[in-house]
Chains A and B, each alone.
Chain A
Amino acid sequence: MRSGPLPRRILTEITITNTLTRQEGRVDSIFEYNYPIVETVDWKTYGEPKLSRTDSYQAIGYGMLVNYRYGRPEDDFTNNTLVVITPNGIHHPRPTLNAIRKIREKREYILNVLRGQRVRARFAYPAVCPTCPYRIGCNDYRNNLQRTRRNRMTWARTFRVLDKRQDTHMNKFLATHLPLSFLREFGIAELGYRVNQIREGDRPIIILGRDSQVCRMDSGNTVRIISLEPNIPLLACISCCGKIREITDEYATIEVDRGDPSQLLGFDIVLLKNEVDLTKRDLEAIDFVRRQPGRIQDMAFALIGENNEFRDS
């Protein structure tokens, strides 16, 4: 941590999503010094004399997301210092090549699972059951048949969890790959808002205003409120999460659940639905239409009541 000049800007609780690598994290804080120097800061409420390997990897993972936010290669930590603050002191985990490789391996492993590839689960060979009171190696784990069965069960459960998570990431995938006008047409995003007022409280309420446009969202939708920062990927911009209380063509009132809304001041705002109504089937159909030249695309646009407005966007 730097003892010299104060940071130019401090961002807190920033959710960064990198859909290309399927990595997402909520970074506790980013300290921005004079360009291009930044610090990735992670706070821990518990303290041990030495930083655990898990915490260290977590900080490196966050650092990789911060590098993505600033458009740098994710393993380039030249101007990005990692800081973990615990009650016992300040730690600086080293982003070694080995650590980055391990994070990438794990990430790729999950990505392969989501792609439906047959990848082998590599579980540690346990000598004893974690709840075993005797703490000695037993025949249960030495029996290969038992081990295979246990691995298969764990693997099936892991797959189910990942498969479920994939559905909730669809809108992020869409937000990265489709133009904003398209997202708006599908009712996934609303553009052109600015923060008019913030009412502080247990759950802050922000009131966003904009010039009159037809609004396609409804009250009750959970949204990610994203500030459009220049030269930053959409899902790595400063953002908060909240629930729409009221929305009209001119303004929106949103109750914030996560994030600091004061950071959104001064930026153009995009509202992105957190849970989209599109199912896997809808998504595949959209993909099919986008890949088609000519006639079928014309028909698709005629069905949504457009001629070819989105084709060039």
Chain B
Amino acid sequence: MNLEILNSSQHSALTRRLDRDPSVDGIQGPAGTGKTQVASYESCIAAYDSGERVLITALQNAAVDQILEKIIDIARKAGKPNERILRDIKRTGNLSDVNPLLTGHCCISPNELSSAVIVGTTLYSAFVPTGRRVLQQGSFDRIIIDESGQITPEQGWQVLRLIRNSDSATITAYGDDIQLTPISHDFVPERSILRRMRARNRQLMLLDTTYRLNSPGVKMTSEIFYRGRLQAPQEVMDRKLSLKKNPSGLLHEAIDPANTLVYTQVPGKETESGWSFDNHNQARVVSDLCHEFIRLGADPSKISVIAAYSPHIKTINILLEGTRVQCKTVHKMLGSENDIVIFATTRSNPTRDLGFVTQPEILNVATSRQLRKLIVVGDDAETFSEGSPTSRKMFDFIASKASMLSFDGY
């Protein structure tokens, strides 16, 4: 298999895992650093070169599908015949929402699954009676857990019954514990597998080259969340948005492609909506920004809006009806990326309480989804900077190295 496309940190992480050093290992991959790529190569090499049986698992179906697609792609490029790929790589569990590209690989027959060398399923399906019946206990040599920054150790234990009780068995946990954390049933943040390993001074291998964030976003993320260890290739750093027309009007500064990272202060007041919050002023600004981008020739499907609270999402969706702009909460945006990202912080009140938005994990996810441009729509700068130590650092960075705009009279 062609490993030349891997960068040095991906290569060393892969080598370390293929050498099984140690039996359980964590690989931390910040946004856009190629976790899926490394996990796919690890599975392919272990399965086809070492003859191991590999289980791919994660909390969400989408994450499992993403790795399996990549594995199929790698196997095809390596010259494996189609019949063999169909026989060797299987997807099981809840098959109703599986990616259509994997339809031929879906399977619930225990016989077919026992002959497959790479099986993908969610943690839940690996446990429930259906999963237990179709997947043979103690039959896998290697388990790859993706998104382990969101998985508690107890959830990870559920697949242990499927791993062979031998010295060669191994588990690799891919993820990023500085992104979203697991949330318990009573909405208390819990510690993930990776966070626990880090707390016990276990070395986590960091994939340090991101292919997503351009400048200065990569520098901000690196300095605030990864102690300056994250970098990006020059061509990624220089990536800029291109619009068919030049921006004009009140929003021109925010939209200007030269400003790749912008904070816009939008005065206004939050409104309570049940247990949650909404902010009409911010929603209006977000909607105007999107419409202006579309008017200037940006592809609406390349624009994503992130908001912290669901009612705010609903309001923005109403204002953006008819466009094809995606609008999601921070939690749903995990794992996605887009050219233009607009992040609305929602909260704005006299007590200067910004809620959970200022948590480092939330801020990290919300500000690391963009390929070309990020606009943060928030309360006044002073409130944002006082939210938490992380928001303070972010404010300082944007004020000194990016654009800070005020929409006072908007």
A residues sitting closer than 8 Å to B (CB atoms) are 186-187, 218, 220-221, 275, 277-279, 281-282, 284-286, 288-289, 292, 294-296, 298-300, 302-306
Contacts and interface: CB of A to CB of B under 8 A. Distances in A.
A305 B202 contact: yes
Nearest to B197: A305
A300 B188 contact: no
A288 B24 contact: no
Interface of B: 22-24, 124, 127, 153-158, 160-161, 163, 165-167, 169, 171, 173, 184-186, 188, 190, 193, 196-200, 202
10 contacts: A220-B186, A284-B127, A289-B160, A296-B165, A300-B157, A302-B24, A303-B24, A303-B173, A303-B197, A305-B199
Contacts, number: 83
B23 A285 contact: no
Contacts of B158: 281-282, 285
Q: Which 4 A-B pairs have the closest CB atoms?
A: A305-B196, A305-B200, A302-B24, A285-B157
A288 B199 contact: no
A286 B196 CA distance: 17
A289 B184 CA distance: 22
B156 A295 contact: no
A215 to B, nearest CB: 13
A235 to B, nearest CB: 22
Contacts of A186: 154
B127 A294 contact: no
A288 B171 contact: no
A299 B154 contact: no
Classify the secondary structure of B's interface with A.
Answer: mixed
Contact of A288 (B22, B153, B161, B193): B161
B157 A288 contact: yes
Contact of A294 (B165, B186, B197): B165
Given A304-B153, A305-B153, 10 more contacts: A282-B155, A282-B157, A285-B158, A294-B165, A295-B167, A296-B160, A299-B24, A303-B156, A303-B157, A305-B197
B186 A289 contact: no
A275 B186 contact: yes
B197 A300 contact: no
Nearest to A218: B188
A278 B22 CA distance: 28
Contact of B193 (A277, A281, A282, A303): A303
A275 B166 CA distance: 36
Nearest to A283: B154
A299 B185 contact: no
B49 to A, nearest CB: 23
Nearest to B184: A277
Contacts of A303: 24, 153, 156-157, 171, 173, 193, 196-197
Contacts of A305: 153, 196-200, 202
A299 B193 contact: no
A305 B173 CA distance: 12
Nearest to A299: B24
B160 A300 contact: yes
A159 to B, nearest CB: 18
B166 A295 contact: yes
Nearest to A277: B184
B142 to A, nearest CB: 12
Contacts of A304: 153, 193, 196
Contact of A292 (B165, B171, B185): B165
B202 to A, nearest CB: 7
A277 B166 contact: no
Nearest to A219: B188
A286 B154 CA distance: 7
B169, B193, B200 — most chain A CB neighbours (10 Å): B200
A299 B196 contact: no
Nearest to B124: A281
A218 B190 CA distance: 10
Nearest to B22: A302
Nearest to B167: A295
A213 to B, nearest CB: 14
A286 B157 contact: yes
Given A288-B160, A305-B196, A295 B154 contact: no
B154 A296 contact: no
Contacts of B127: 281, 284-285
A277 B185 contact: yes
A300 to B, nearest CB: 5
Contacts of A220: 186, 188
Contacts of A302: 22-24, 171, 197, 202
A58 B328 CA distance: 55
A302 B127 CA distance: 20
Given A285-B158, A288-B161, A303-B156, A295 B169 contact: yes
Contacts of A278: 154
